[in-house]
Amino acid sequence: MPYKRKGSSRVWITVAGVRRSSGTTDWKDAEALEHKLNHDKWKEKELGIKPPRSWEEAVVKYLKECQGQPSYKWKVAVLKWWAPNLQYTFDIRTITRDKVGAICDPYTNTEPSPRNNTLNKKTAILHNLLQKACQEWEWIERVPKFRTYPIPEHKDKWLTAEQWFALGRALPADLSDFCVLALATGLRSSMIVGLTWGQYDALRRVLNVSGTARKRANPVPLNGTAISVLETRRRSQVVGMTRVFPEFNGPPIKVRARAWAKVRKIPGLEGVGVHTLRHTFNTWLLHAGIPREDRKYLMGHASSDAHEVYTHQTEARLRPAVEVIDEVLNGQTLILVRHEYHRSARTPSASD
């Protein structure tokens, strides 16, 4: 039976022997809620029917368990994208293949496209949430299998030295330094966007990168190209700015899609993006004979091999590896002048 608790304006109820607030001051509503919750508990115990769980409950629990993962921010963004259509779902068992398909259909292309690839990743996060609700939390009995949309065939895109210089000439001034640092360090664009001056250790010539930005939290050794960019930006930086690549009003720089759209119209640079420079970094090191273990460490990739977990590298040992980028660029004498790139008079050879 509901009851009034001294000092509380709301009616209290008892559910499966546990007292709790009904959340309402209306006696009849509280009584109806008590009967319903106790009935749900009885069905769960006697008939094995699980009580309904809302979208909000599932999201809160899912994000709590995902905290600290490298993909945490991406998962938050994806769940926000789903929220307008699913936030009023009071039973996540009603999230079916047809319902998810109806949400995705306006954003899909019949032909393979990058947009479809993004949608596949978003439905994968939703599927992972429901899979946890079924297999780990035991909230639901089954997980629907969502549709996958056609995506383009994967192409390993990386740049030759000639293509890199063509890219440098085509980029606007505010993205030139950004891309040089991406090529020189192999860092992801999200890491460079959030880079602060506190992470730059000029004395040791390293960037101190957190484990959430890379799967392995090891310092990034800097070559001459990276140091040149950082020192140039520090000399021209506005006093009080904490980020290496801020906008005019202080927040992180935005990698503008419009600028890249113009670049991709240049022959040989179709499909190029900031992430291409990460592929280029690793490929140039491979061509220079840098061992896989060193490249893996510099790229920040995690390893399931227990032996590698107990193996630690030093910046001094790895710095010659990243200086390969300097050697490739200096083969054509890269000169940084007012954010513009110029070739020397020497004609690049085929080995460049």
State both tokens at 73. Answer: 């921010």
Residue 9 sits in which domain range?
Answer: 3-47
- Are 184 and 270 members of one domain? yes
Same domain, yes or no, for 170 and 73? no
**Which CATH number characterizes residue 181's domain?**
1.10.443.10
The reply to whether 201 and 318 lie within a common domain is yes
pLDDT at 15: 85
Q: What is the largest CA-CA distance in the chain?
A: 91
Tokens 């506190």 correspond to 198
- Mean of the pLDDT values across residues 214-237? 83
Identify whether 274 is part of a domain. yes
Place of tokens 């690793």: 282
Give how far Cα 342 sits from Cα of 13, 168, 329, Å.
Answer: 76, 9, 11
- Examine the domain organization and report whether 168 and 298 are in the same domain: yes
Q: How confident is the model at residue 318 (pLDDT cuts 50, 70, 90)?
A: confident
The beta-strand segments (E) located in 136-254 are 200-201, 206-207, 220-221
Q: Is 304 within the bounds of a domain?
A: yes
Tell whether 244 and 288 lie within a shared domain: yes
Kindly state whether residues 32 and 59 are assigned to the same domain. Answer: no
Residue 145 lies in a domain: no
The reply to whether 123 and 229 lie within a common domain is no
Question: H-helix or E-strand containing 21?
Answer: strand 18-21
In a domain, 60, yes or no: yes
The pLDDT assigned to 217 comes to: 57
Residue 152 has pLDDT above 50, yes or no: yes
Which pair of structure tokens corresponds to residue 134?
A: 């079924």
By mean pLDDT, which of 64-73, 101-110, 197-206, 240-249 is the weakest? Answer: 240-249
The confidence score (pLDDT) of residue 225 equals 93
The domain total for the chain is 3
Nearest 5°: the CA angle 243, 245, 248 is 90
Query: Do residues 230 and 91 both lie within one domain?
Result: no
Q: Is 333 left (phi over 0), alpha (psi -120 to 50) or beta?
A: left
Give the pLDDT confidence of 63-119 residue by residue, as tens digits: 999 998 878 989 999 999 999 999 989 889 999 999 999 999 999 988 888 789 899
Residue 247 CA to residue 255 CA, distance in Å, equals 11
Q: With 60 as the cut, is the pLDDT of residue 343 above it?
A: no
State the Cα–Cα distance between residues 81 and 110, nearest whole angstrom. Answer: 22
Same-domain check for residues 207 and 225: yes
d(C-alpha 120, C-alpha 36), whole Å: 38
